[in-house]
Amino acid sequence: MNRLPTPAPVVTPTTQAFWDATSEGRFMLQHCVACDAVVWFPRNHCPECFSPELSTFDCSGHGTVYSYTVIRKVANAYKEATPFVVAYVELKEGPRIMTNIVDCAPEDVSVGMAVTLVFHDTGAGNALYRFRPTSQ
């Protein structure tokens, strides 16, 4: 069930590789070669030690809900999709990323719940990364 719109993201030369990977069902994280930090959001330097040497790896796709809100009313592309959930999900690899929680009723979402990555094609050569409750 995906009743949310799938707007195409802004893609820049810096984020092209990240978004290209989503079309293959991969969520790519950056790793700082110099200080071992995981970097989020993608950029050309490490915001911990400022090194330009970054490698990439695919995240596990597992995380937990760090916080969320149920949006009841909006005037944007999501207007017809209310109520829907925007959340910060804390990835197993560390970063807390903004996303939507899908495939469950908004009232069933809770802080701390386990979630798993899914991708929704935007039709623009990439996909939005969202999370659904992890199956027991």
Partner 1 sequence: MQPRGTEPMSIRGAAYVAGIYEHPGRDLPTHTIWDIHTEVAMGALADAGLSMGDVDALFCDGTAGFGVLTLCDHFGIRPKYVDSTETGGSSYLAHVGHAAAAIAAGKCSVALITLAGKPRTGSPPVQWAQGPESGFESVWGMAGAPHSYALAAQRHMYEFGTTSAQLAEIKVAASTHAQYNSNAFLKNVVTVDEVLNSPLVADPLHRLDCCVVTDGGGALVVVSPEIAKKLGKTQAKVLGHGEAVKHTNNGRIDLTYTGAVWSGPLAFEEAGVSVADIDYASIYDSFTITVLQTIEDLGFCEKGKGGEFVMDGALIAPFGRLPFNTDGGGLSNNHPSNRGGITKVIEAVRQLRGEAHPAVQVPDCQIALAHGTGGSLGSRHGSVTLILGQHDA
* Residues contributing to the site for partner 1 (CB under 8 A): 4-5, 7-12, 14-15, 19, 37-41, 43, 47-48, 66-78, 81, 84, 86-88, 94-100, 106, 111-112, 128
Is the separation of the CB atoms in 33 and 127 below 8 Å? no
Least gap, CB of 109 to partner 1 (angstroms): 9
H helix runs in the chain, sequence order: 16-22
Q: How many of the other CB atoms lie within 10 Å of CB of 82?
A: 12
Least separation in angstroms between CB 78 and partner 1: 3
Q: In Å, what is the CA distance from 122 to each residue of 9, 22, 75, 107, 135? A: 8, 10, 20, 26, 25
| Nearer CB in complex with partner 1: 24/98 | 98
In the complex, least distance from residue 51 CB atom to partner 1, rounded to whole angstroms: 13
Closer to partner 1 by Cβ: residue 107 or 135 = 107
